[in-house]
């Protein structure tokens, strides 16, 4: 039995699809989760969101014990959380940092990510489709694709 991919989402993303559609689109987080499960082609996905930093840290610890890869949209914690960065540093597998918007196109406060220097890859600016791209990439990175695909 292969280990699941963890998809972790930070603060306010539970409100996705309800405001600033010009930046974040109209897709809800529940729809993003369904898209990820479909893209995972049967592989187990652990999909979570929290507005609490400690909870995200606890889930990274859980992924260290039980996960094959982490896709994380840390939202505002991207720019503030050394604690999430420290937890991610302990993860032995691939980490994809994901942002719906292109953070580098925005104001300078959105340019300095604590996660990017320790991430395996960074996806930003693809909208919510970026989650599907990240899952597909993670399947390759963790070599869990069924033979012939
Ligand atoms: O583009 C992303 O995915 C972000 O990580 C989203 C964060 C923002 O602080 C980052 O700079 C980029 C903010 C998420 C706010 O949550 C929303 C809630 C409702 C509607 C839209 C966004």
Ligand 1 atom with minimal separation from the 76 CA: 9
99 is catalytic: yes
Ligand 1 atom with minimal separation from the 110 CA: 11
pLDDT tens per residue, range 48-105: 999 999 999 999 999 999 999 999 999 999 999 999 999 999 999 999 999 999 999 9
Does ligand 1 come within 6 angstroms of the Cβ of 15?
A: yes
Does ligand 1 come within 6 angstroms of the Cβ of 18?
A: yes
Does ligand 1 come within 6 angstroms of the Cβ of 110?
A: yes
Q: Would you state the structure tokens that stand for residue 62, as one six-digit string?
A: 């859980």
pLDDT tens per residue, range 118-146: 999 999 999 999 999 999 999 999 985 55
């Amino acid at each position: 039995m292969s280990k699941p991919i963890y998809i972790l989402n930070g603060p306010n993303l539970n409100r996705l699809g309800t405001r600033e559609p010009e930046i974040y689109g109209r897709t809800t987080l529940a729809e993003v989760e369904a898209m990820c499960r479909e893209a995972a082609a049967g592989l187990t996905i652990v999909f979570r969101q929290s507005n609490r930093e400690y909870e995200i840290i606890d889930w990274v610890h859980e992924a260290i014990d039980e996960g094959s890869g982490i896709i994380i949209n840390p939202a505002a914690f991207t720019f503030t959380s050394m604690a999430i960065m420290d937890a991610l540093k302990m993860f032995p597998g691939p980490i994809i940092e994901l942002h719906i918007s292109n953070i580098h196109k925005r104001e300078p406060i959105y340019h300095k990510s604590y996660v990017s220097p320790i991430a395996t890859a960074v996806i930003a600016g693809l909208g919510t489709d970026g989650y599907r791209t990240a899952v597909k990439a993670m399947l390759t990175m963790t070599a869990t694709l069924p033979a012939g695909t």
